Amino acid sequence: QQQVKQSPQSLIVQKGGISIINCAYENTAFDYFPWYQQFPGKGPALLIAIRPDVSEKKEGRFTISFNKSAKQFSLHIMDSQPGDSATYFCAARAGGNYQLIWGAGTKLIIKP
Q: Which residues bind another protein (CB under 8 A)?
A: 6, 9, 31-32, 34, 41-46, 49, 51, 89, 93, 97-100, 102-105
C-beta closer to another protein: residue 20 or 100: 100
3-state SS of 64-103 is EEEECCCCEEEEEECCCCHHHCEEEEEEEECCCCCCEEEC
C-beta closer to another protein: residue 18 or 45: 45
C-beta closer to another protein: residue 14 or 39: 39
